[in-house]
Structures are given as C-alpha cells and as structure tokens.
Amino acid sequence: MSRSFARSRLSQALALALLGLSSVPLLAQQSSDSDADQSELDAQELDEMVVTGYRRSLQYSTENKREEKGFTDSIFAEDIGKFPDLNIAESLNRIPGIQLDRDVNGEGLNIGIRGLPQSFTKTLINGGEAYTASIGLNRGNQNREVDLNLFPTEFFNKLTVYKSPQASLPEGGVSGVVDMRSARPFDNEGQHLNYTVQLDRNSIADKVNPRGSALYSWTNDDSTFGALAGVSVVRSRIGVRGWESVGWMNPSLNYVQCGIEAPAGVDPLTTRPAICNPGGGGSLQMPNTVPDNASTIAAGLTPGATVDRDLLLALNPGLSIDQFTEALFPRLGRPVDMAGDRDRDAFVGSLEWRPSDKAHFYVDMLFSKAGYE
C-alpha cells in the first residue's frame, strides 16, 4: 500500500522557520581508523544485483506477447505456483478466453478456447502433440480432448495459448493451441529443491486426502550441464452426491403436439412439421401419450393421456409452442452417488547440455498415471 503526502506553502514556511530557530553550531570530529575502514567496506561496488519476485513473471509474459507474431497469452512458473490449483487445467483457466470443463467431483478436467468445444483445442507438451485415452471419471475420449488433470502444475515452467494459427504449429487446433513447457535445469541455475505437501478433506467421503511433490534441479559451475528430476503423488478419496446428465437437447414435436392439422396421407403422430420446429427439431422426441410410471403419477399426470399442444402449454405456462421447441431438456438426467479412490503418480526428468552459446541440447521425459477404483 502506498501513501502520498502534499505540503502547502504555509507548512513549508513554518518548517523553514523552525529549522532556523533550532539550528546549533556543528563541531568537527576526527574519525577513527575503524570508521574509515567501515566506510570503505560500505562503499564497495556490486557488479550486479538481481531481484526476483512475482513481478518478473508479468514482465516475461509481456515480453513474450510482444515478440510473438500472433495472438498469444502466457503464464510462467511464478504465476502457476502462487495459486492453489490442483492440476494444469485449473492453471490454464486463469488465461483470458479459456473455459474450464470440470469433472463430476469438481476438479478441472479439460479446456475450451473462445467458447468452442474441447475437441477443437490442440494440446502440446514441449511442442509435441499429447493424447489421452479417457477424460474424467465416467467418460471416454471421443475426439481430441486431453485429460489435463493427469499433469501436476509443479512440473511446468511455462504455459502458452496460441489463439491464432501459425505455420510453426501443428494443424488441428481450430479454436487454439495450448503448449505446455515442462521444467528444465537451466530455468533456475544452481542447486534447487522445491517441495509441496497438501492435505484436504472430502466431507462426503469423510477422509483426508494427501498430495505432495518434490522437484530437484542442479547445474554445474560452468553452466554447461544440468539435470532435473521430480515426482508428484496424489492419494484421494472421491465422494460425490448430486445430479448429472449426459447432455442437453431440444425436442422435436409432431403435428398433434404442434396443434396443426396434418395434410392428407400424413401420419400426425410420426411426422415432424418444419413450421413447428423452426430450429430443425432436436433428437428428443416427446412421447405420444403420458408414460405409466411413478414420476408421471407423482407429477399429477394421467398415464395414457394424449400429449398434445394444450398439455404441453399447460405444463409450461408462459411459453409459446415455438419457444418450447427451442427449450433444452436433459438427456438421461439422473441422480449420482459416487465413491471411490483416485490415485495419481507422476514423474518428470530432464537433462540439458549447453556446450556453447550456439549449441543447446536437452532430453525431456514426463510420465503420469492415474487410477480409479
């Protein structure tokens, strides 16, 4: 917090007057040899002084954005580490234009860019394409989605989102490309050890979940060779109670449900008129009669009654039939009660060799495995 003080001319004049009244003669005093030696020590010049802080990451982000040819956003290790993110997906969510898709347990899963689905996002690790076999607790990978909760935040030094196409990037990222650069020894020269230990408690599972990580890096005195190794372990108990659906869709109505007389030779119960389905109609077909089950009886409906236009409008007051056809309904909506164990083990390693200013060699390795029971 900074404060600024302004002095008026009157206060300055009073200060000068008080200074004149309180002035006293000064007596010269010969300094001792020890004081002279101390002054020489205090007067030593430093070749270089480097101050490292969070503001440096903002400077790196600004410089990186200025040097890039297209529209990009980047965050660096200082920004990644100062937030309590559980995985790299939640760290990427802090970049403008990124939407986070969470799993049923609330943990970040995968991302979308500029409102497009996750399948339009290409994910890279150190410039190479990344793929996973599943996304989350109860879904299989269908397109190009990447299960980002496999990757610990501690293993990455830089996250870059490319929002415009570039010739140097792999094809396939319609909405954008995400490049995650893992940690390397010369990111912090010298010998460093970073470790984290976290404990959290799931009130539904009633169990404490530990997670921890350690990252060690070393470079030689000549700054020509370095090595890095890290490990991350997560042991968590999952407890989820709520409601979920497979997706959302709008209905497709027949002639009877639209309240329109069908032309001659047209079955009014199976044909879906375009005039009543301005959006083309969805894949959800309303039943011709009220089903005979506990939910319809509990709602006060009569099993076997015809589902026509009057019934639909009576159950949805304030809507027209055209508005009703554009409403979204849950597909396979159901309550969920999930419990189990989720474990994740990850390892990162890197060797870096810089024999000269014009030669740079490195080998990166990243392994991550997650299991659900």
- Give me the residue spans of the domains in the chain: 54-244+339-372, 247-331
DSSP state string for 214-282: EEEEEE-TTSSEEEEEEEEEEEEEEEEEEEE-SEEE-EE--HHHHT-PPPTT--TTT---GGG-TT---
Contact 133, 126 (CB under 8 A): no
CB atoms within 10 A of CB 253: 25
294 Cβ partners below 8 Å, 6+ apart? Answer: none
The pLDDT tens digits of the residues spanning 10-21 come to: 344 434 333 443
The pLDDT tens digits of the residues spanning 250-267 come to: 888 888 888 888 887 787
- Average of per-residue pLDDT across 152-171: 87
Per-residue CA distances from 146 to 13, 18, 235 (Å): 70, 73, 21
pTM of the predicted structure, to 2 decimals? 0.64
- Average of per-residue pLDDT across 317-327: 86
- Average of per-residue pLDDT across 318-330: 85
- Average of per-residue pLDDT across 178-203: 90
- Average of per-residue pLDDT across 191-207: 88
CATH number, domain 54-244+339-372, options 3.30.1370.60, 1.20.58.390, 2.170.130.10, 3.30.1540.10: 2.170.130.10
User: Of 184, 196, 176, whose CA–CA distance to 122 is shortest?
Assistant: 176
Does the structure show a pLDDT above 60 at 316? yes
User: For residue 24, what pLDDT is reported?
Assistant: 42
Does the structure show a pLDDT above 80 at 8? no
Q: Which residues pair with 208 in a beta bridge?
A: 201
User: For residue 16, what pLDDT is reported?
Assistant: 39
Torsion of CA 342, 145, 350, 229, to 10 degrees: -10
Does the structure show a pLDDT above 90 at 249? no
pLDDT confidence of 94, banded at 50, 70, 90? confident
Q: Residue 189: exposed, middle, or buried by beta-carbon count in 10 A (0-12, 13-18, 19+)? A: middle
222 Cβ partners below 8 Å, 6+ apart? Answer: none
User: For residue 364, what pLDDT is reported?
Assistant: 95
Highest mean pLDDT among 26-35, 61-70, 296-305: 296-305
User: For residue 18, what pLDDT is reported?
Assistant: 38
User: For residue 146, what pLDDT is reported?
Assistant: 80
pLDDT confidence of 230, banded at 50, 70, 90? very high
Task: Report d(CA 69, CA 71) in Å as an integer.
Answer: 7
User: For residue 55, what pLDDT is reported?
Assistant: 60
